[in-house]
Structure 1
Amino acid sequence: MAILEIQHLKKYFETPRGLLHAVDDVSFRLEAGKTLGVVGESGCGKSTLGRTILQLIDSTDGKILFEGNDITHAKGKTLREARENMQIIFQDPFSSLDPRMTVSETIREPLKLSKRYTKEEVESRTERLMETVGLAERLRNSYPHELDGGRRQRIGIARALALNPKLIVCDEPVSALDVSIQAQILNLMQDLQEERKLTYIFITHDLSVVRYISDEICVMYLGQVVEKSPAKELFVRPMHPYTKALLSAIPIPDITAKRERILLKGEVTSPVDPKPGCRFAARCPHAVEACHQPQVLAEVENQHFVACGRVHEMLE
């Protein structure tokens, strides 16, 4: 059963150069208990997609269906109830925490705001959450600046788990951490998913991480999904030229080995619609034409979807 269904979701931003197509006609279904990895280069719209799904920013067009209910334009009580089941773990565990709140206060806050628990229940649940994510009791009165990155991210995870959500958007949750700490956090998240039957949208630019944790992977370029397939299949049989270029950039841990890099010529498709007379229009002669031609995902193999469009022209 699909816990989340996204239909032709769009998010455009007004800029001096016109409309920026941050998320441009994205559609997918996510089954309960699964992990969908979203990968792509910086600026491709990954984080904007996650925040739009959670309605931290309003969508321009399209539909967001959570457990069959349309929450695209939910407000007030309806949105509040939906957000109890949809949480986020932010990329930077330092800037996403209030520096004036202790560990226990941060974890306790969503429990207090929900107004569903007594004072004693709030305290006991806070203690259990700290234990669940591996935070020692002695840290309950510590402030974020007194902790390392791994512990700070554990606070963010505990806060996201506080109200027992069903879906968590993980916005590059390990990119700011050391490699050894990354492994600990990823293992913790997998254990939590198994114990609590959680569903993840895992946003990252680290292909090795997304291969390890995901069931399915979406590859994004210029706000659009250009390829979607099971995780193992994507690395064995990448089909879209951009996916092949992305995978060719993965470093090989062998100084004697050489990998043939697929270089991009440049952005044939621009995420900006130039206004008439705009001085930037000449840099991208296909901008207006290409931006209004959404990539159509076609199923070329079982559960393996690839987009068709002019993006192929950008590769040598």
Structure 2
Amino acid sequence: MAQPVQVKCGGCLIKLLITIVVIIALIGIAVAVVMNMTPNKLGFGDLKIGETTLDEMGLGDVKIKEMFKLIKTLAKPDEEAILDKPFHAAVDQPKLEGNLAESNIGTLGNGEPDYGILLNRQVTYPKQYMYRYDDTTLAYLFNAMVMQQRKTGDSGNEGVEFLKSLNANVTQISMNVTNGQATLKIVVSIDISSMASEIESSLGFASRFVKIPKTVYLVSELGLTADVQGILSTTSKSLTVNGTENEVADVILNTLMKNAGSDFEIEEDCKSQINRYVGQTFTTVVGNLGKVGKALVSVGTEVEADDPVEYGAIGLENGGLYVITHAGEAA
């Protein structure tokens, strides 16, 4: 079972945000030559922010212009570009509950489906069905599952524990298929609005230089494949902060990992590590909903014994996927 991941996200984001803003504030209206220099070249790579120097944070050899670029995206993320396909609970919740209505998923005390079951076992149906899950519906499912798991102990899933520790919400999942190649985009939002006054207080005079953001987004891009048995797998493509990929964004991602609990083993490529956690959670949940594929059904969604079934990439489409459900006990 996975150990709980204790990522002190708020503290590390505050530290980095303060660091970058203070550097820019100290420089003021920098000329082009300074913007292309680094803290080490300017002589303050050993400047301490709290107990850590810029060099120790990994910022010592990062160009000032790269810091400036990221602070602008942190202060005012382009939400229209980042969230180009958000889910809508009023639409996606009924779709999800309709697909699960005949399953044995079970419910919580408040009557909600127990989505956490999908992390540990297959949900089964009295018969086999073919259901389509829109990507927005999957986003609703993942977000609802993470919110439920915040109220429980260790979920046993590293991806969910990581998101819980970030106090993050799954804001978007989108799927695209181009020339037979499927890609998966997962957007996670981290609300830091409650920390705004703490950040402004720490910045002092430098707070005039930046608007404190309410939300920071992690944008995961993954390759997505399905084998002939209908089992999904993902590969890491990119991971960005507010859609920006540069050295400072890499420092933020590495700092998130370095602030993890002692039971959390940090790998050299933290972006691939985070993407693997998120991707494995996605494939686990979809796999417990059913096998990816399509059937040539005669009527409705029920798959009869003699209906042709093909598992694999045929079940992946723009905007969603098809699964053939697991047959077993009645709901």
TM-score, normalised via structure 1 length: 0.30
- The structure with more helix, counted as a fraction of residues: 2
- When Rg is computed on C-alpha atoms for both structures, the one with the higher figure is 2
Higher RCO by CA contacts (8 Å cutoff, separation 6 or greater) = 2
Superposition TM-score, scaled by structure 2 size: 0.29
